[in-house]
Amino acid sequence: MSADEFPPLFAAPFDRSGTGSAKWARATAPGVIPLGLADMDLPGPPAVAEALHRRARHRAYGYTVCDPAGRELVAHWYRTRHGAEVDPDWVVLLPCGPRTALRVLLETVRPQAPLAFPTPEWGGFAQLCRAARLPYRELPLPLGPDGYHLPNGPLPGPTSAVLLSSPHNPSARVWPAEELRALSQRAAEAGALLVSDEVHGDLTHPGHTHPVAVTTVDPALRPHTVTLNSVGKTFNCSGLPSAFALVPDPALRARFTEELAGYGLWEGGLLEQTVQRAALSEGGPWLDALLAHLSAARDRLTRLLGPAVRSAPQSSYLLWLDAAALGLPPGGAERALLERCALEATAGDVFGPGGAGFLRLNYALPEPLLETVLERLARLGRS
C-alpha cells in the first residue's frame, strides 16, 4: 500500500448526524467541517459494536465485578503492541475516563507543592488544576527543526508532580525514550511523581515506537511513575468513558483504589469492561488499518501545508500548524480559518502560553471528507 492509498474501511463517507456528536456540534453553520475536537469521524472496530450488542441482549445491567483477566489482557496488549513488559499487578481497571482518573490520582497524592507540565500542552491539565485549586507551573518546550523536545535542566522550585501527554498533544510528537528517562530522573530528584497520559500512545504511526513511561524509566524510578491510558481515543469509543492506570508502587496503588471507592468508583464496570475486552482482544487488525489510513492522510496534509507544520506528526491524528505560515493572523487564526475555508480548528492558546499563534487540526476523516478539507486548505495558498 502506497502512502496515498486508503484502506477500504475508511474510504466511504461516514455520517455522524443524529448521534449527539460533540465534535459536530461545533459546526456552527451549514457547510462547516469541525476539525477541533480530538474525536475521529471514522467507524470504530466491528468487534466493539458486536460485543456491546451481545451484552445488551441480556437485559440485566446491574453491578458488575472486576474481571481479573482484564489485567492480563492489558499486560498482553502492551507486550504485543509495544514490546513493553507490564506486570498485571500494576494495572488498575477504571470505570471512568482518563481525566477523572487523573483528578482522583492527584487527590490521592494530595500535592503540597505546585505541579508542573509543559507548554504547549493539552489544556485539560491546567483546567483540572484550576478546578482542584492546585497551583501549577508551565515549562516551555524547546522547538527545534524536528519538533518539540522535553524540557531539560532541573525543575523550577519544589514540585509535587510532573504531568505529561505522551505522545504530545497537540503536536503528535513521540517523545524519545532518552528524553523521557531524563525527565523522570529530574522529577525524582525533585521528589515529584511523573504522570504520563498516554491515551494517544496506541496511535503511534508505523516507523515510530511509543515509550511506555512505567517501563521506559529506570526501574528504580518506577514507584515514582504512573501511566494512564484508555481504549477511547484508539478505538473511537470515548463516549463510553473508561481507562486503565499502570501504578507500579503497591502502596500508591492501594491508596488510589481506596480514593476511587470514596468517589463511588470501583474497578471494572459493565460497559467499560465489555468495550475494553473487545477492543484489546480483537481490535488489532482494525487498528493496523486505521494507522495506515492516518499515515496516508498525514502525508498528503504535510505535503500541502509544508513549513506551516511545525512538528511532523508521528502519532495520532493531530496537526499543529503555525498560523502565520498559513497566511492567517496569529491573533485570530481560528476565526480566519473558519471564515476563509469553513473549517473549525482549535486555537493554540488553549494549550497554554506556548500555543499562541498556532492551530490544532484533527485529520481523522473518511477519504471523501479529507478530500474536501484538502481542497479548502489549498485556498490559503491562493489567497
- State the CATH number of the domain containing residue 344: 3.90.1150.10
Task: Sort 200 into a burial class: Cβ within 10 Å, 0-12 / 13-18 / 19+.
Answer: buried
Q: Are 209 and 198 in contact (CB under 8 A)?
A: no
Residues 6+ apart with CB under 8 A from 212: 78, 82, 84, 86, 198, 201, 227, 246
Residue with cell 470505570: 95
Per-residue pLDDT reduced to its tens digit, 110-152: 999 999 999 999 999 999 999 999 999 999 999 999 899 999 8
Calpha distance 234→130 (Å, rounded): 28
Q: State the total domains in the chain.
A: 2
Alpha-carbon torsion 260, 261, 267, 270, what sign?
Answer: negative
Mean pLDDT of 335-361: 97
Range of the structural domain that residue 199 is part of: 54-282
Give me the pLDDT at residue 156, please: 85
CATH of residue 149: 3.40.640.10
Q: Are 130 and 149 in contact (CB under 8 A)?
A: no
Note whether residue 88 is domain-resident: yes
Note whether residue 155 is domain-resident: yes
Q: What pTM value is reported for the model?
A: 0.95
Calpha distance 138→179 (Å, rounded): 18
Calpha distance 298→288 (Å, rounded): 15
Note whether residue 1 is domain-resident: no
Calpha distance 235→215 (Å, rounded): 23
Same structural domain, 250 and 290: no
Average pLDDT, the chain: 95
Note whether residue 3 is domain-resident: no
Same structural domain, 202 and 81: yes
Same structural domain, 29 and 172: no
Same structural domain, 211 and 300: no
Note whether residue 24 is domain-resident: yes
Note whether residue 317 is domain-resident: yes
When computed from its CA atoms, the radius of gyration of the chain, rounded to whole angstroms, is 20
Same structural domain, 111 and 209: yes
Same structural domain, 298 and 276: no
Same structural domain, 223 and 310: no
The domain boundary, picked from 223, 252, 282, lies at 282
Per-residue pLDDT reduced to its tens digit, 171-217: 999 999 999 999 999 999 999 999 999 999 999 999 999 999 999 99
The domain boundary, picked from 236, 266, 282, lies at 282
Per-residue pLDDT reduced to its tens digit, 312-327: 999 999 999 999 999 9
Q: Are 115 and 136 in contact (CB under 8 A)?
A: yes
Same structural domain, 38 and 60: no
Q: How far is CA 126 from CA 201, 241, 244, in A?
A: 21, 21, 22
Per-residue pLDDT reduced to its tens digit, 239-296: 999 999 999 999 999 999 999 999 999 999 999 999 999 999 999 999 999 999 999 9
Same structural domain, 82 and 205: yes
Note whether residue 212 is domain-resident: yes
Note whether residue 295 is domain-resident: yes
Give me the pLDDT at residue 383, please: 56
Same structural domain, 97 and 239: yes
Burial letters 240-272, b for 16+ CB under 10 A, else e: bbbbbbbbbbeebbebbbebbeeeebbbbbebb
How many residues in the chain?
383
Same structural domain, 297 and 263: no
Give me the pLDDT at residue 7, please: 59
The domain boundary, picked from 239, 263, 282, lies at 282
Query: Is the pLDDT score of 6 beyond 80?
Result: no
> Which of these, 263, 218, 272, 273, lies nearest to 105 by C-alpha position?
263
Same structural domain, 128 and 271: yes
